[in-house]
Amino acid sequence: MKIAKNKVKIAMPSYLENLSVIRAMVRIYLKEHKISETDEVQLLSVLDELATNAIEHGYGYSERGEIKIVLNIFDKTVFLTVEDDGKGYDENLDSKEDGGFGLFIVKKLVDVFQIKRKTKGTIFKIEKRLREAV
């Protein structure tokens, strides 16, 4: 099995307070790879939305679990996966109050957006082509 040298995996308890830690870790990763500031801001916005969805909608405010983030840069493309083992994505959400507006924005910021339902939980997968490095 070939392991990507740029891949990073983060697993954190599903507390909103951990979003700042996740964001800081990913920001360092992106800066180390010298991506443009525009791409960095967009990717951090996408990460914030997907991780927040996993925590708030996947687990709700009473259930606790873990969110898993996998980040990899290959061939000028960022591959990001955010996964939870919560109640699963509800495809009927279509308004901001229901949680659908943030995903609409995510779709506009990335090149590939996939939602995969698991038996228990959801996997959000994105791909984003990078601009030229700074």
> What is the full per-residue pLDDT of the chain (134 aa) written as tens digits?
455 678 999 999 998 899 999 999 999 999 999 999 999 999 999 999 999 988 888 888 677 899 999 999 998 999 999 999 988 766 655 544 555 678 889 999 999 999 998 888 999 999 999 986 54
Burial class (CB in 10 A: 0-12, 13-18, 19+), 49: buried
- Stated length of the chain: 134
The first and second tokens of residue 119, run together, are 């038996």
Q: How far is CA 32 from CA 55, 63, 76, 79, in A?
A: 27, 35, 14, 16
pLDDT at res. 95? 45
CATH numbers and ranges of domains, the chain? 8-129 (3.30.565.10)
Task: Report the pLDDT value the prediction gives residue 58, as an integer from 0 to 100.
Answer: 81
Would you state the pLDDT for residue 4? 63
Grouping H, G, I as helix, E, B as strand and the rest as coil, residue 69 is strand
C-alpha pair distances (Å), 46 with each of 4, 29, 119, 123: 22, 15, 24, 14
Record the pTM.
0.85
Q: What is the pLDDT of residues 36-52, one digit of tens each?
A: 999 999 999 999 999 99
Cα angle 11, 9, 79 (rounded to 5 degrees) comes to 125
Contact between residue 111 and residue 95 where contact means Cβ atoms under 8 Å apart: no
